[in-house]
C-alpha cells in the first residue's frame, strides 16, 4: 500500500465523471419543429442562429437531455399528459405523421484547442436518428436508441472557441398506431426499431405521443491529446476464500496523430477514507508505443490485493467501492487522456438450484435470497436526473430489496442509475429490447423476428455492455421479456456474453492468475463481459417454469393467506408477480380534476362477490381493482363501505400493506425449500398510474412500501397466515443464538388476552424456522378483530432485531369493527428535534403511546420488553452502545444526545386506552392560502418507518429527512386511524 494522500475526492454518493476532461452540454438549448424552421442546419450554425426574442419565433427553451414532448410540456405547448385525461388531447404521431415530432435542437458551447489536442462531441443516446451540424459542417448519426455516438470534431471547431451546434432529431421509423382497444405495445410496429417498446402503451401505461423522440441522454464534449482511452474493462477475481483479489484491466487506446506515440500508461486504485482523503492502494505504470493512426488493446498485468473490502448486496454487508483511475501520458505532450470509475470487488455466480429448480444467485460465495422488483424507468418523458435516480434507488434499498429487474420493454438503464445501485447494493437484472407482446405474440400477432435490423440490435447490445459492465451491481443479462430474441441475435449474444472459464467454476479455493491461463483462455478483462450469466429470456433457465411458458404472475389482488399455501406458485423463481397500488388521496387530487376524485362503484354480483367499476379517469390511468370476483372478495369493503376519496385511499393503504407484506412473507416462508427468489411487478410507475407501485410518480410512498420494508428485513419474525405458526427468518450468514420471541395479542378494548415469550432460541444462517403455533384464534371467546405484536430480540441486551405488527380477524370475518375504533382517542406524546444541513432537513422523533398498559405487564419478568422500541439492524437512526440505564426511552434519549432547548414536545390528549393504529407522517409547506386540490406536500421524504402502530406504553423513534426550496417553511403532520384530519407535530421556523 502507498501513503495517504490528499486530493479532491467525490462524496460517496456522488456520480463520478468517467472522463475528467469531459464537459456536459446540458443548458442553453432551444428547439423548434423542423417544418417551422426556414433555415438549413448549415445556416443555423453559421449565419442564422436561432433567437427567442421574436414573439413569432418557432424556437422555445428545450429540455436536453429529454424528449420533444418534454420540451413541449416545458413550454406549455401541450397539456400535461400525466394529468387526468389530458394525454388524449395531445396529437399522436400516428395521426400527425413523423414530421410533426421531427425537431431541431440548438445550443452553443465553448471549446478552444491547443496544439495536438482533439475534441470529441459525444451523444450518449438519441432516439432515433439525427443530422448534426457544427459550425456549418454536417455529420449524420445512424439509427438506434441505445448506441453512443462519439464524433471527432477537431477540424470543425471555430478558432475563437465559440461553437454553434444544431441537431435535427428524427422519430423512430415505425412509430405504429394505437388500436382502439389499446393493448400491450399498441400495434407492435415499434418492435421493428431498436427503441423502447412501452411507448405505444401497455396495461399499466398510456401511449407516449412522440414515442420518446429526442436527445434523451447526456451530451458532452471531451478534449484529449494525441491518444485517447476508450471503454476500459475492469474485472476482479479471487483466491484463498476471498482473502486475495486480483484486478484485471484492459483498455482500448486510439492514437489519432500521424506519428508513433511513446506513452506512459498508468492505473491507480484508491479507496476513500473520508470526504477529502483517499488511500492509494495501487499505482502501476507501463510504457508502450502506439503506431500512428491506430487502435490498440492493452491489458495491464494483474494487480494483487490482500484482504480487499468486498462489495455486498443490500442486507448482506457493505457496498465497498474503490476508485480506479487510468491515465495516459504522451512523450512531448503530457497527460493525453484520463478515465475513472467506481469499482467493487465481488464475484457473482448464477446456477439452477437442484432443490427448487429456481435460479440461485451467489455473491462472494454466499447464496442470496432474491426479493426485489421490476422497473420500467423513472419517467415516461425521460426527464432523468441524478437526484431522481438517487431517490428511486434509495427507496428500493429502504424497502430492503436486493434486486431490480430492468424490463425489456423499457430502457437499458443509464450509468447514473447503476451508480446508485452500486452505492445502495441493488443487484440489477438488465434485459435487452425484446418483449413477447411486441416480438412474437399479442393482438394483433406481432413479428417474431424482432427488429428489422438485427445488426443494429447487436451493435446497440454490445455498446450497452461496454457502457455498463464495470458496475458491481450489474448481475445478469437477459435476452428479453417473456420471449427470447430471434435465433441469430440470441446465438450472437450467447457467444458475445459467454463466461470466462473462471466464472463458470464454483471452486474458489485455488488461486487464479492470468498467468496460469493458456493463450486460448486469455485475461478475463479481454472478454466483452465474461463475468455475468446471459439468460435468453425472463421465463427460461431457472425463471418461472424455465421453458418459456406463461408461468409468471398473477397480477391481481390475492387473499393474503394464499401466498403461504402450497398451490400458490409452484416454480422456484417468479420474475413477475403483481398486485394493486392505489396512492394516497393527495396524489389523486394532484393528478386529476375533481371528476377523477370519485371512488369506484361497488357492484354486487349474484354470486356474492363485488365488482369495482372505476370512473373513466381511473380507468384511463390503469386502475386495478381491490377485488377479483369468484376468487377474492373486495379487500376495501372488508373495512366497511368507503365514504369518500380520503376514506377509500386510507383503506386502500391498509390493504396495500397487508397484501405486499403477505406476498414477501409467503415467499420467504419457503426460502430454499420451494423458492430462490421473487420480483414484484412492479415497484413504481413512469407516469401517474394506479397499479403495481410502492411509491407514486410524485414520489410519495404507499403503505405497501412499508409492508415490503417489514417483510424483507434480513432478520425477521412473521406469522404464517396459512398455518398460524410464528416463523423466524435469518437470511444472513451468521447464526443467531440466545434470542427470544415475544407474542402479544391486543384487543380493541386495550386489553391483552394473549401473551407468550419463547426464549433461548437459535436461528441458523439462511434458514426459516417455525417456532410455535399462535393459538389465540382457538382460545375461548377470541375477539373477532384483534392486533398481534411480534418481537424478536436478543436476550443478552434486549436489543430488538425485528418487530412486526398485524391486524387480524377470525376466519370468515372482516375488519368492520375497526370503523368504530376510529372514534377512540388514544393519547400520544411526540418529542422531536430538528437539524438542517444546507437545504436538507433531518427531524428525529420519539413517538409514544401514553395510554396505560394492562396490569399483566406490571408483574411479568419480561415486561421491560414491551417498553421497547423498534430498532432493527436495518435502521441507522439509533446507534446504542452498552450501558446500565433501565428503560428504553432513557436509552433512546441518551443515544440521540438531545438537549432540552432543542426539543419540541407535542401531546395529543385522549381518554382512551389501546393501540394507536396505522400512524403515518407527511411533510407539507406551511402555506395556508390554498384551494381544494392544491398539493401542499413536500416530496420526496425519506422516513425510517411509516404506517406503523403503537401498543400502550410503546415508544418508537422515527427519522425524517427531506429537502425544501429556499424560503419554504415545512411542517410535519401526523395522521392515523384514530387521528382523523391530522395533527401538526412540528413546524420548522
- CA–CA separation, 711 and 763 (whole Å): 17
| Cβ atoms of 229 and 326 closer than 8 Å | yes
**What pLDDT score was predicted for residue 898?**
53
| Cβ atoms of 299 and 248 closer than 8 Å | yes
Q: Is residue 628 predicted with pLDDT exceeding 50? A: yes
* Cell numbers at 67, concatenated: 424528449
Q: 713 catalytic, yes or no?
A: no
| Cβ atoms of 132 and 164 closer than 8 Å | no
Q: Is residue 18 predicted with pLDDT exceeding 80? A: no
Q: What percent of the chain has pLDDT over 70?
A: 91
**What pLDDT score was predicted for residue 520?**
52
Alpha carbon distance, N-terminus to C-terminus of the chain: 50
The pLDDT confidence band at residue 949, using thresholds 50, 70 and 90, is very high
- What is the rounded average pLDDT for all residues in the chain? 91
- CA–CA separation, 469 and 249 (whole Å): 12
**What pLDDT score was predicted for residue 892?**
41
- List pLDDT tens digits, range 322-379: 999 999 999 999 999 999 999 999 999 999 999 999 999 999 999 999 999 999 999 9
- Which phi and psi (to 5°) does residue 458 adopt? -70, -35
Q: Is residue 872 predicted with pLDDT exceeding 70? A: no
- List pLDDT tens digits, range 378-424: 999 999 999 999 999 999 999 999 999 999 999 999 999 999 999 99
- CA–CA separation, 985 and 43 (whole Å): 61
**What pLDDT score was predicted for residue 938?**
96
Helix H, strand E, coil C: the string for 629-687 is CCCECCCCHHHCCCCCHHHHHHHHHHHHHHHHHHHHHHHHHCECCCECEEEEECCECCC
- Which phi and psi (to 5°) does residue 461 adopt? -65, -45
Bond into 940 cis (ω within 30): yes
- List pLDDT tens digits, range 902-921: 789 999 999 999 999 999 99
Give the residue among 333, 271, 282 at the shortest CA–CA distance from 304: 282
**What pLDDT score was predicted for residue 8?**
32
Lowest mean pLDDT among 155-169, 524-538, 868-882, 951-965: 868-882
Helix (H), strand (E) at residue 431: strand 427-431
Edge-to-edge strands of the sheet including 767-773? Answer: 715-719, 725-730, 767-773
Can you give the pTM of this predicted structure?
A: 0.94
Given the residues 189, 431, 482, 508, the one annotated as active site: 482
Task: Between 981 and 758, name the one with better pLDDT.
Answer: 758
Would residue 705 be called left, alpha or beta, if left means φ above 0 and alpha means ψ between -120 and 50 degrees? Answer: alpha
Average pLDDT of the residues in 670-676: 98
| Cβ atoms of 146 and 463 closer than 8 Å | yes
Cβ-based burial of 439 (10 A; exposed 0-12, middle 13-18, buried ≥19): buried
Q: 302 catalytic, yes or no?
A: no
Helix H, strand E, coil C: the string for 767-836 is EEEEEEECCHHHCCCCCCEEEEEEEEEECCCCCEEEEEEEEEECCCCCCCCHHHHCCCCCCEEEEEEEEE
**What pLDDT score was predicted for residue 516?**
52
Helix (H), strand (E) at residue 397: helix 386-398
**What pLDDT score was predicted for residue 544?**
98
The pLDDT confidence band at residue 685, using thresholds 50, 70 and 90, is very high
Given the residues 200, 272, 431, 576, the one annotated as active site: 576
Average pLDDT of the residues in 936-964: 97
- List pLDDT tens digits, range 229-258: 999 999 999 999 999 999 999 999 999 999
Task: Between 31 and 836, name the one with better pLDDT.
Answer: 31
How many residues are there in the chain?
989
The pLDDT confidence band at residue 425, using thresholds 50, 70 and 90, is very high
Average pLDDT of the residues in 301-319: 97
Identify the bridge partners of residue 809 per DSSP, sorted by sequence position. Answer: 785
Amino acid at each position: 500500500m502507498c501513503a495517504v494522500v490528499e486530493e479532491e475526492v467525490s462524496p460517496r454518493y456522488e456520480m463520478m465523471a468517467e472522463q475528467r476532461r469531459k464537459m456536459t452540454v446540458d443548458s442553453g438549448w432551444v428547439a423548434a419543429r423542423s417544418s417551422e424552421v426556414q433555415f438549413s442546419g448549415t445556416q443555423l450554425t453559421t449565419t442564422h442562429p436561432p433567437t427567442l426574442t421574436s414573439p413569432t419565433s418557432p424556437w422555445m427553451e428545450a429540455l436536453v437531455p429529454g424528449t420533444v414532448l418534454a420540451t413541449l410540456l416545458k413550454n406549455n405547448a401541450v397539456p400535461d399528459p400525466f394529468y387526468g385525461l389530458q394525454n388524449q388531447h395531445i396529437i399522436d404521431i400516428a395521426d400527425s405523421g413523423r414530421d410533426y415530432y421531427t425537431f431541431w435542437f440548438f445550443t452553443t458551447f465553448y471549446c478552444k484547442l491547443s496544439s495536438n489536442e482533439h475534441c470529441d462531441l459525444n451523444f450518449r443516446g438519441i432516439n432515433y436518428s439525427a443530422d448534426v451540424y457544427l459550425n456549418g459542417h454536417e455529420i449524420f448519426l445512424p439509427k438506434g436508441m441505445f448506441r453512443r455516438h462519439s464524433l471527432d470534431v477537431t477540424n470543425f471547431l471555430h478558432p475563437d472557441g465559440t461553437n454553434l451546434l444544431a441537431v435535427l432529431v428524427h422519430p423512430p421509423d415505425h412509430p405504429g398506431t394505437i388500436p382502439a382497444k389499446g393493448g400491450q405495445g399498441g400495434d407492435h410496429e415499434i418492435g421493428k426499431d431498436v427503441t423502447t417498446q412501452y411507448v405505444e402503451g401497455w396495461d399499466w401505461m398510456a401511449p407516449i405521443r412522440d414515442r420518446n423522440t429526442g436527445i434523451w441522454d447526456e451530451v458532452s464534449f471531451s478534449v484529449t491529446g494525441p491518444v485517447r482511452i476508450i471503454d476500459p474493462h475492469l474485472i476482479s477475481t479471487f483466491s484463498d476464500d476471498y482473502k486475495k483479489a486480483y484486478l484485471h484491466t484492459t483498455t482500448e487506446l486510439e492514437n489519432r496523430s500521424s506519428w508513433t506515440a511513446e506513452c506512459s500508461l498508468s492505473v491507480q486504485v484508491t479507496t476513500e477514507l473520508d470526504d477529502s482523503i483517499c488511500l492509494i492502494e495501487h499505482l502501476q505504470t507501463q510504457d508502450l508505443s502506439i503506431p500512428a493512426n491506430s487502435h490498440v488493446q492493452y491489458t495491464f498485468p494483474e494487480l494483487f490485493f490482500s484482504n480487499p473490502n468486498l462489495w455486498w448486496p443490500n442486507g448482506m454487508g457493505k457496498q465497498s467501492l474503490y476508485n480506479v483511475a487510468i491515465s495516459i501520458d504522451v512523450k512531448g505532450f503530457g497527460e493525453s487522456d484520463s478515465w475513472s470509475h467506481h469499482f467493487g470487488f465481488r464475484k457473482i455466480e448464477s446456477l439452477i438450484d437442484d432443490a427448487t429448480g429456481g435460479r440461485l444467485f451467489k455473491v462472494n460465495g454466499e447464496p442470496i435470497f432474491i426479493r426485489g422488483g421490476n422497473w420500467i424507468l423513472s419517467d415516461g418523458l425521460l426527464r432523468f436526473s441524478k437526484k431522481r435516480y438517487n431517490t428511486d434507488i434509495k427507496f428500493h434499498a429502504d424497502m430492503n430489496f436486493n434486486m431490480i429487474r430492468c424490463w425489456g420493454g423499457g430502457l437499458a438503464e443509464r450509468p447514473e442509475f447503476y451508480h446508485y445501485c452500486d452505492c445502495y447494493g441493488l443487484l440489477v437484472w438488465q434485459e435487452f429490447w425484446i418483449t413477447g407482446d411486441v416480438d412474437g405474440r399479442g393482438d394483433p400477432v406481432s413479428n417474431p423476428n424482432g427488429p428489422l435490423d438485427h445488426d443494429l440490435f447487436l451493435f446497440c447490445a454490445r455498446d450497452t455492455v461496454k457502457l455498463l459492465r464495470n458496475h458491481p451491481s450489474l448481475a445478469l443479462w437477459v435476452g428479453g421479456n417473456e420471449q427470447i430474441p430471434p435465433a441469430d441475435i440470441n446465438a450472437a449474444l450467447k457467444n458475445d456474453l459467454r463466461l470466462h472459464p473462471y466464472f463458470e467454476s464454483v471452486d474458489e479455493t485455488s488461486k487464479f492468475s492470468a498467468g496460469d491461463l493458456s493463450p486460448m483462455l486469455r485475461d478475463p478483462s479481454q472478454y466483452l463481459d465474461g463475468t455475468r450469466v446471459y439468460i435468453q429470456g425472463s421465463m427460461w433457465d431457472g425463471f418461472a417454469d424455465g421453458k418459456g411458458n406463461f408461468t409468471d404472475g398473477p397480477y391481481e389482488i390475492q387473499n393474503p393467506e394464499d401466498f403461504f399455501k402450497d398451490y400458490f406458485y409452484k416454480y422456484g423463481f417468479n420474475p413477475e408477480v403483481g398486485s394493486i397500488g392505489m396512492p394516497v388521496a393527495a396524489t389523486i387530487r394532484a393528478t386529476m380534476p375533481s371528476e377523477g376524485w370519485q371512488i369506484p362503484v361497488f357492484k354486487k354480483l349474484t354470486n356474492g362477490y363485488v365488482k369495482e367499476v372505476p370512473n373513466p379517469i381511473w380507468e384511463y390511468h390503469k386502475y386495478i381493482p381491490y377485488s377479483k370476483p369468484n376468487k377474492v372478495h373486495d379487500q376495501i369493503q372488508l373495512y366497511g363501505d368507503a365514504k369518500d376519496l380520503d376514506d377509500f385511499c386510507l383503506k386502500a393503504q391498509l390493504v396495500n400493506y397487508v397484501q405486499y407484506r403477505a406476498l414477501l412473507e409467503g415467499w420467504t416462508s419457503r426460502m430454499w425449500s420451494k423458492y430462490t427468489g421473487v420480483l414484484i411487478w412492479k415497484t413504481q410507475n413512469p407516469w401517474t398510474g394506479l397499479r403495481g407501485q410502492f411509491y407514486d410518480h410524485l414520489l410519495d410512498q404507499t403503505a405497501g412500501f412499508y409492508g415490503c420494508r417489514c417483510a424483507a428485513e434480513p432478520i425477521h419474525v412473521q406469522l404464517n397466515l396459512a398455518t398460524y405458526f410464528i416463523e423466524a427468518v435469518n437470511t444472513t450468514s451468521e447464526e443467531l443464538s440466545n434470542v427470544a420471541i415475544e407474542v402479544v395479542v391486543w384487543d380493541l378494548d386495550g386489553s391483552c388476552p394473549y401473551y407468550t415469550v419463547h426464549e433461548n432460541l437459535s436461528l441458523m444462517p439462511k434458514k426459516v424456522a417455525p417456532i410455535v403455533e399462535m393459538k389465540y384464534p382457538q382460545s375461548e371467546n377470541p375477539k373477532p378483530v384483534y392486533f398481534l405484536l411480534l418481537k424478536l430480540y436478543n436476550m443478552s441486551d434486549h436489543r430488538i432485531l425485528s418487530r412486526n405488527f398485524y391486524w387480524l380477524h377470525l376466519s370468515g370475518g372482516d375488519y368492520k369493527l375497526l370503523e368504530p375504533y376510529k372514534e377512540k382517542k388514544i393519547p400520544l406524546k411526540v418529542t422531536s428535534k430538528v437539524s438542517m444541513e444546507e437545504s436538507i432537513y433531518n427531524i428525529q422523533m420519539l413517538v409514544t403511546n401514553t395510554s396505560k398498559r394492562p396490569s399483566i405487564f406490571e408483574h411479568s419478568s419480561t415486561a421491560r420488553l414491551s417498553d421497547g422500541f423498534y430498532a432493527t439492524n436495518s435502521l441507522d437512526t439509533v446507534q446504542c452502545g452498552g450501558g446500565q440505564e433501565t428503560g428504553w426511552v432513557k436509552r433512546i434519549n441518551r443515544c440521540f444526545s438531545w438537549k432540552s432547548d432543542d426539543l419540541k414536545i407535542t401531546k395529543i390528549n385522549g381518554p382512551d386506552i389501546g393501540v394507536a393504529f396505522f400512524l403515518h407522517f407527511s411533510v407539507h409547506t406551511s402555506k395556508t392560502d390554498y384551494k381544494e386540490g392544491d398539493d401542499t406536500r413536500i416530496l420526496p421524504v425519506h422516513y425510517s418507518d411509516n404506517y406503523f402502530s403503537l401498543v400502550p406504553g410503546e415508544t418508537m423513534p422515527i427519522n425524517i429527512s427531506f429537502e425544501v426550496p429556499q424560503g419554504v417553511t415545512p411542517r410535519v403532520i401526523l395522521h392515523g386511524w384514530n387521528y382523523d384530519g391530522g395533527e401538526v407535530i412540528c413546524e420548522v421556523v
